[in-house]
Amino acid sequence: MKLLEPGTGIDGFIVGECLHAGGMAHIYAVEYADPGRDAGFPMAMKVPRMTGGDGAETIVSFEVEHQMLQVLSGPHVPRFVAAGDLTRLPYLVMEYVEGRPLQDRMDQAVRDRVRPAPDEIARVGAAMAAAAHSLHQQDAVHLDLKPGNVMIRPDGRAVLLDFGLSWHAHYPDLLAEEMRVAVGSPPWIAPEQVVGVRGDPRSDVFAIGVMLYEMATGELPFGDPQTRGGLRQRLWMDPPPPRALAPHTPDWLQEVILRCLEPEAQQRYGSAAQLAFDLSNPDQVHVGERGLRTHRTSWTVHFKRWLKAAGLHYQPSPLPSAQIDQAPIVMVAVPWKDASDATLFSLRRATARSLGIRSGARLACVTVVAAGDMDATDERLSEVQVHRWQLDRLRQWAQGLDLETHPISFHVLESGDVANALVRYAQANGVTLMILGAATHGLKFQRLVATVPVRVAMEAPCSVMLVKQALPFERLGDARAQPQDPAATMGHVVAPL
């Protein structure tokens, strides 16, 4: 298909310069022909390159992207404007996303022979994971995440592009109906996609892991296989650990990357939100054998995976939103002072129950400290010492929880507005459920601070569980009794949280 000339009029749009000429489509700047009409944002027109020799994939991909853009919303996808008719001129008009493609940043690193710093890799990875999680919450999976399809806005947020290979739970899977083979970009395609499984949100987690690996090492973990046999190898093979290629890779970053690249989806992060959480809190990542590895896993492990992979076949995918609900981020807001034993006990009991019915959950224990209160706690202590002191208190509170299967992290926030700090933390970290005491500052200020849980419940981007304080049965009527559980003594024996 020839390039459109600037000034060409199409269905009420005026075509501008060609912004990108790729193998699958041309991208043009575009604006309304009517000068009085304004979309409120810059627009781009995507025209697929369809020729007589093109297969069904090009046409079907156009239809899929048209379908996806109309139903997806949020800051991580371009806004849809209009579409052209396949019988005349197929095109998609959408928001022009200002920013820089991740591919450009990675190419620049290659030219400069400088690897991005670990904290920069983590920031970009967390932005991609947050964007992917937004799709999964809408029951969609991208399935073609790669550096060329990720735009990083100037504010650091990621916008995902090119939904031609994507999947949505509530619409027909046109690609699966037409192609019947693995569809995707070979370096980034997940193992389950190779055997025809589409719709698993953990496939996007795998693709993000590939990009993290490339940013950390400069190499693709599985190369660029061009045969089905080459693709199938990732069902049982794992790549060289990043530290084998880039020795200065932090162990926490390798732990995250290799968990994303696990051949079996259930061994990866249960949700992109959990991945974003770890990348946003590297000091809280639990480093195991994966993070310390310097060699590939043994051939016996690969052989067992090979045997297991031989029986893999297509299985219908559950709703992505339902699947990520099985891997939530649970946040408990623990008051740091003036907290009674009953409040602390009730919060811990409610937290234990919530984790008990959510096997894939991770727990974030959060306390909010006012700046003035930190300074006044003990004039002999520095702010860093006070921060560590509060972390120790949170760890003591959590001692009685059964956390063998639940990752846990501890966070001390500094703010004069408790409700705002909790809401912002939940928004930034993809929290699914927040557990909060109904009265968190003691009886003296109960009437005043009753607005804190109310504000949180009204403004939080997640479900909120308000917990009414109650003592265990054996302590009723005995206000002087000393609790035996050290986690319940935080407001009675030791310095209060």
Mean pLDDT to the nearest integer, 22-31: 88
> Using an 8 Å Cβ cutoff, are 201 and 317 in contact?
no
Select from 95, 118, 133 the last residue of a domain: 95
Alpha-carbon distance 368 to 376, whole Å? 15
Checking if the pLDDT of 28 tops 80, the result is yes
Among 210-214, 299-303, 332-336, 437-441, name the one with the lowest average pLDDT: 437-441
Neighbours of 4 (CB within 10 A): 18
Q: Identify whether 4 is part of a domain.
A: no
Alpha-carbon distance 324 to 205, whole Å? 12
> Using an 8 Å Cβ cutoff, are 175 and 241 in contact?
no
Q: Do 79 and 141 have their domain in common?
A: no
Q: What is the CATH number of the domain that holds 385?
A: 3.40.50.620
Greater confidence (81 vs 173) lies with 81
Judged by DSSP in three states, 397 sits in: helix
Select from 320, 342, 377 the last residue of a domain: 320
> Using an 8 Å Cβ cutoff, are 48 and 62 in contact?
yes
Q: What is the CATH number of the domain that holds 43?
A: 3.30.200.20
Mean pLDDT of the chain: 84
Alpha-carbon distance 320 to 172, whole Å? 15
97: its two tokens = 């996303």
Judged by DSSP in three states, 163 sits in: coil
Q: How many domains does the chain have?
A: 3
Checking if the pLDDT of 489 tops 70, the result is no
Q: Identify whether 497 is part of a domain.
A: no
Q: To which residue do tokens 């997806």 refer?
A: 72
Mean pLDDT to the nearest integer, 400-428: 87
> Using an 8 Å Cβ cutoff, are 132 and 272 in contact?
yes
273: its two tokens = 């939100």
Q: What is the pLDDT of residues 442-453, one digit of tens each?
A: 444 444 445 688
Enumerate residues 6+ apart whose C-beta is below 8 A from 482.
489, 492, 493
Q: Do 352 and 416 have their domain in common?
A: yes
Q: 54 falls in which pLDDT band (50, 70, 90)?
A: low
309: its two tokens = 């992979």
Select from 273, 290, 320 the last residue of a domain: 320
Mean pLDDT to the nearest integer, 263-287: 94
pLDDT, position 492? 29
Q: Do 199 and 290 have their domain in common?
A: yes
Q: What is the pLDDT of residues 69-81, one digit of tens each?
A: 999 999 999 999 9
Range of the structural domain that residue 235 is part of: 100-320
Comparing CA positions, the residue from 474, 374, 475, 461 lying closest to residue 416 is 374
Alpha-carbon distance 203 to 191, whole Å? 8
pLDDT, position 371? 65
Q: What is the pTM of this model?
A: 0.85
Enumerate residues 6+ apart whose C-beta is below 8 A from 132.
142, 145, 160, 201, 204, 205, 208, 272
Q: How many residues does this entry show for the chain?
A: 497
Q: 482 falls in which pLDDT band (50, 70, 90)?
A: very low
401: its two tokens = 């929880």
Greater confidence (381 vs 423) lies with 423
Q: Identify whether 496 is part of a domain.
A: no
Mean pLDDT to the nearest integer, 460-471: 84
Distance of CA 469 to the CA centre of its chain: 33
Checking if the pLDDT of 385 tops 50, the result is yes
Helices (H) and strands (E) in the chain, counts: 19, 16
Q: Identify whether 495 is part of a domain.
A: no
pLDDT, position 81? 96
Q: What is the pLDDT of residues 74-124, one digit of tens each?
A: 999 999 999 998 778 899 999 999 999 999 999 999 999 889 999 999 999
Q: Do 53 and 168 have their domain in common?
A: no
Checking if the pLDDT of 478 tops 60, the result is no
Comparing CA positions, the residue from 428, 67, 113, 73 lying closest to residue 246 is 113
Q: 494 falls in which pLDDT band (50, 70, 90)?
A: very low
C-alpha torsion angle, residues 285, 287, 293, 294 (rounded to 10): 60
DSSP secondary structure letter of residue 60: H
